[in-house]
């Protein structure tokens, strides 16, 4: 079984994330980046599936030069090879453009048995790329899987909702997005770190994918960020001094904020 996992390199949520002043796109230079934590679950699930049968896991990312780090992490975890789609013209691409690039790259890799993605990126958090990608590849899609089994030519996934869990089956090839409940992603081991250096990483530009620069980037985006503002610093809390009527004052305060 061959699996392609789509992963994203995102700004570290632990650091101070911001936008570029010049074009209101996410600042990917000024902060440390890493493999989106939600994508680690996708990589782990793919590795488990391949380990249980056979085949290869290819990790695929669209992003600037630094995004190679996300691929490296996935290779260190155990993925077999990687494809990095990168081109200056891609800067500022939105979900439709990203899904176009991913679809073209997957077609070039050779459509796998399963495409696995995380449930959303931890920076944009739109969570629409999996659906757009499935549409472009004309694949059946199962989103938000918290359990996954593959049997012959069918994939079965459990989706956990607030009130019920549903079990969904689709025929292969298929696209599945997985949640953070599906597994415990492994750490790269010493062997994994050493082996990753020798694994093949291909770098493809727009030309390699037959995509026109006008179809991607900020210019082609369906949505764009008009403006941004820093969240105002938290205001100082109000201190209630108890002069015999502390209880009443507290109750009044809570009532004024509609807590009671």
Q: Which stretch binds other proteins (CB under 8 A): 5-13, 47-55, 183-191, 245-253?
A: 183-191
Nearest distance in Å: CB 164, other proteins: 31
Side-chain half-sphere exposure of 247, counting CA atoms within 13 A: 1
Yes or no: say if 126 and 95 are a contact pair by the CB < 8 Å rule.
Answer: yes
Considering only residues 62 to 121 of the shown chain, the ones binding other proteins according to CB under 8 A are 72, 76
Asked if residue 31 binds other proteins (CB under 8 A), the reply is no
Q: Which stretch binds other proteins (CB under 8 A): 50-58, 101-109, 172-180, 189-197?
A: 189-197
Query: Whose Cβ is closer to other proteins: residue 77's or residue 97's?
Result: 77
Query: Whose Cβ is closer to other proteins: residue 51's or residue 252's?
Result: 51
Q: Of residues 55, 64, 188, 205, which one binds other proteins by CB under 8 A? A: 188
Asked if residue 191 binds other proteins (CB under 8 A), the reply is yes
Nearest distance in Å: CB 188, other proteins: 5
Query: Whose Cβ is closer to other proteins: residue 4's or residue 71's?
Result: 71
How far is Cα 106 from Cα 102, in angstroms, rounded to an integer? Answer: 6
Q: What are phi and psi of 166, to 5 degrees?
A: -115, 150
Yes or no: say if 58 and 4 are a contact pair by the CB < 8 Å rule.
Answer: yes
Asked if residue 187 binds other proteins (CB under 8 A), the reply is yes
Asked if residue 36 binds other proteins (CB under 8 A), the reply is no
How far is Cα 61 from Cα 161, in angstroms, rounded to an integer? Answer: 29
Asked if residue 190 binds other proteins (CB under 8 A), the reply is yes
Yes or no: say if 192 and 50 are a contact pair by the CB < 8 Å rule.
Answer: no
* Number of residues binding to other proteins, judged by CB under 8 A: 11
Q: What are phi and psi of 11, to 5 degrees?
A: -65, 140
Angle in degrees, 0-180, between the axes of helices 129-137 and 95-109, rounded to the nearest 10: 50
Residue 184's SS3 state is coil
Buried b (16+ CB within 10 A) or exposed e, 86-124: bbebbbbbbbbbbbbbbbbbbeebeebbbbbbbbbbbbb
Q: Of residues 31, 68, 128, 193, which one binds other proteins by CB under 8 A? A: 193
Asked if residue 189 binds other proteins (CB under 8 A), the reply is yes
Q: What mask, x for binding other proteins by CB under 8 A, covers residues 197 to 226?
A: x-----------------------------
In the complex, the residues that contact other proteins under the rule CB under 8 A are: 72, 76, 186-191, 193-194, 197
């Amino acid at each position: 079984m061959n699996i392609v996992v789509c992963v994203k390199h995102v700004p570290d949520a632990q650091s101070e994330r911001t936008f570029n002043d010049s074009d209101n796109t996410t600042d990917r230079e000024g902060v440390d980046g890493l493999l989106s934590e939600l994508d680690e679950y996708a990589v782990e699930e793919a590795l488990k599936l391949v380990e249980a049968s056979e085949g290869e896991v290819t990790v695929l990312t669209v992003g600037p030069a630094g995004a190679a780090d996300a691929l490296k992490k996935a290779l260190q975890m155990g993925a077999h090879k990687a494809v990095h789609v990168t081109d200056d013209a891609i800067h500022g691409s939105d979900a439709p453009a990203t899904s176009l690039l991913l679809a073209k790259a997957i077609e070039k890799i050779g459509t796998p048995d399963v495409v696995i993605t995380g449930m959303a990126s931890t920076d944009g958090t739109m969570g629409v790329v999996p659906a757009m990608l499935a549409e472009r590849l004309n694949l059946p899609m199962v989103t938000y899987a918290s359990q996954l089994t593959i049997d012959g030519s069918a994939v079965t996934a459990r989706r956990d909702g607030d009130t019920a869990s549903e079990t969904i089956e689709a025929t292969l090839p298929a696209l599945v997005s997985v949640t953070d409940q599906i597994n415990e992603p492994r750490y790269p081991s010493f062997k994994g770190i050493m082996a990753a250096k020798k694994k093949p990483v291909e770098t493809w530009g727009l030309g390699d994918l037959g995509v026109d620069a006008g179809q991607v980037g900020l210019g082609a985006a369906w949505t764009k960020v008009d403006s941004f503002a820093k969240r105002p610093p938290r205001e100082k809390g109000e201190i209630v001094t108890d002069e015999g009527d502390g209880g009443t004052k507290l109750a009044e305060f809570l009532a004024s904020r509609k807590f009671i």
